[in-house]
Each structure stands twice: as C-alpha cells, then as structure tokens.
Structure 1
Amino acid sequence: MPGHHARPIAIGAQRTDILAAPDGPARVFQCYRAIECSDLLEPDLLASLLDRCRRGSFVADHVDRLGSREVEAPQRVGAALNIVLSRPSFLRWVEAVTGCDALNRVEGRLVQTRANGLDALDWHNDTHDDAAGARRLGITVNLSDAAYEGGGFELRTTATHEVLTRYRHDRTGTALIFDIAGDLEHRVLPLASGGPRRVFTGWFVQAAPRSSS
C-alpha cells in the first residue's frame, strides 16, 4: 500500500498549503504508481463537505461492461472539489511528484457504492483524450462517514497483471492519487458490509496542445 506518513498538503476552503517537499512522495509514486495524501482536506472544509454529502441526492449509474454505482445529482460536492483541487499550487506539486506536466485542472464527481452485491467496478483504464485535454492521473478522496468492509481499490499492470497497489480508504479527507496510462488498469471491489463507501473520484487533466494556425 502506498503511503507517505507526513501530511504533504493541506487544502482548505480558501487556501492550499504545501507542507512537504515532493521528493519523498515522488519515490513512493515511482514504486507503486500511486501515492496517498494523508488528511488532504482541512477539518472545516471536510466537515462542510460531509454535511453536504449527507443531505445530497444520488442516482443510479451503470457503467457498461464494468459495473454499477450511484452518483451525486446535482453535483454540489463534486463541483466544490473540482474548484479547490484545481488550484495551481496543488497542480504544480502533483506534477513534481508524478512527473506529469501541464496539468490544467481536476475534473470529477461524488460517487457511492453500497453493500448490495451489485455495486463495484471491474478492471478498466481511464485513459481518455479529446479536444479539451487528456486524463493523466486519477484521484479519489474519502468522504465516507460510515464504516464498511471491502470496497478496496487495486491498480495493476495490464500486460502481466502484477498488482502494484492495493488500497482501502480508512480515513475521511485522505486522498489517493494514481497513474493513468496505457499499461495500467484499476478496479473497485464490492463492499462486504456497512457503508456506503462514498468518495470523490476524478482525474487530473493535461491541457490539450494548442493547434498551430
């Protein structure tokens, strides 16, 4: 399981503080193709988001050939996190840790899975390029306030099926950042009990190159 015990970043409603140099997290990322950011969200922001999660509404979302889950609708928590996670200081730190350059923004949404025997996502690859940019990294932020069993995340190489990272969100406000590339795929296992498992899930998007005129 990737980890970096020192809290590296503190993201609040109004500001982002860089607390750790990228060198240590970068070594972890090179090994596991993923890095944990402990307590990424400041307590006041986290409390506000958890309250919105409790009062939010969710709709079923079936992902063709992969599985099922529920997504927040409308995306209030997701929209707020898209803004605070797209601050330049955080993007530049993530670039230094991962070696990805020209990260432009974070795009994501709040999703939840339940212990119903159905909710899970099978192995897949989030690579996606279009005129708006390319997905280069994934991020999940734990916003669960109910205990659960199961629901682990796994990242493996596509060619050999070697599992590089096994991770389970145990602490609210903590994030996992992981690589998105053609040689990788990941999945989310079903919950065995408890829950729901509620996370913000999204992508660091690389700005599309400007076309020459």
Structure 2
Amino acid sequence: MQNQNNSQESNRIGVGIFIVIVIILLILAGAAGVYYASLKQEKPKDLSDTTVKSFDLMEESKMVHRTVDDVLLMKRENWQLRDTGRRQHKDLLEVSGADVVWTDREVAVGVPVTTELEGASRWVQEHLRTTDVKTIREEKSKWHGMEAWRLDVGIAVKSGKDNERNFTTDTIFFFHHGNLTNRDRDIPRISKEERRNDEKSRTNDDRSRNDDRSRNDDRSRNDDRSRTDEGKR
C-alpha cells in the first residue's frame, strides 16, 4: 500500500515537472518570437531594394508630427500654433518602380514681434537635434502675404549604400503675431556675421542638393538604358 502511494506521489511530481518544463519552453519560444520580430521590424528601409514594391512611411511620418508638436508646445505660453491637417502623398521611385507613401502638413506659428523669425526656427531645430527628425531646408518666405520664415523637416530614408532621400513631413511657417506679448528670453538675436554664415551654408546646401539630384537623374537614365539594352538582346 505504501509502495502504491509512493508511486502515485512520484507520478504527480513527474507530471508537475513536465508541466513546468512545457511552460518554460513556451515562454522561451514566445520571447524568441518577439525578439526576431523586433529585429525584422527594426531593419531600416532601403529605397534601393528592388524586391520591395511599396514603402510605407506613415508611421515614420506620425513620429515626426508628434515630435514637432511636442517641441512647439513647449512654447504654448508664448506662441500661437495652427495645424492645417495631414495630407497623404504617394511618389513613384524611378529606378525600382516602387511607390512611397507618407503624410505631410503645414504648421503656422505666430511669435511675438520681439522674436526674430529665424531665431524661432533655430530654437526649434536645436530642440529637434537629439531626435530622429531631419532638418531639410529653411528660407525666407511668405505666409498669407506676411513676412515669414519657412522650416521644412521630415524623414531621411536610406537609398543605397551611402545615400539617403529626404521626405518633408512638416512645413513650419514662423510669422509675427501682434497680439502676442510674452517675450522669448531664451531666443537670442542673430548677429550679422551669423546671418552671413547661415546664408552661405544654405547656398552650399542648395548646390549640394542640385548636384545629388543630377547624379540621381544620370544614374536613373543609365539604369533605363541598361534595361533597354538587355531587352534588345
């Protein structure tokens, strides 16, 4: 009788150990699945990948929108913000024929007349510097007939080994709003020398973008010729 009880006790212990092992294996399998899924998800997009027929940048666009909002709202006591709403865009890559989808919007930012428009743009760029948001370009502009400063920010996506392509998601217009009276004491005035250096830097950036665009156009034409020659053969 005692042997029978011992046998039943051993069976119960064995079943318990088996269940524990199964649970541990399931937990490990689940963790491995999450790990490999995260690796796959974190793989950076590459616009030169011809096996991909569509590049969805909607989540990246939302990330930029949220980040820009977070920075601008830091000045909600001093500035007036207005968002025009998001629009969806689709572009076709010439080389691969894949489409790229992202969203963009315009944000109008009224600042006190005592704040330089370019200085407000600099303040925003400085707070975006530690994020994944890409500063694409900035320049003098107009907003509803008023003097303004335009800042374009967005996403930089890998396009080949050493290249990347920028997609503008947020176009920010800074303009003077006469009803705003709180001074921006953390935005210093820009000296003439700094302004000259900035203008020179923007000119060089424009030339660089034009050179990159020309090289990409030449590369696309060469690829088209290669495909045509292969078709003839």
Calculate the TM-score normalised by the size of structure 2: 0.25
Higher relative contact order (Cα pairs below 8 Å, separated by 6+ residues): 1
Greater fraction helix:
2
Higher strand share: 1
Please say which structure displays the higher CA radius of gyration: 2
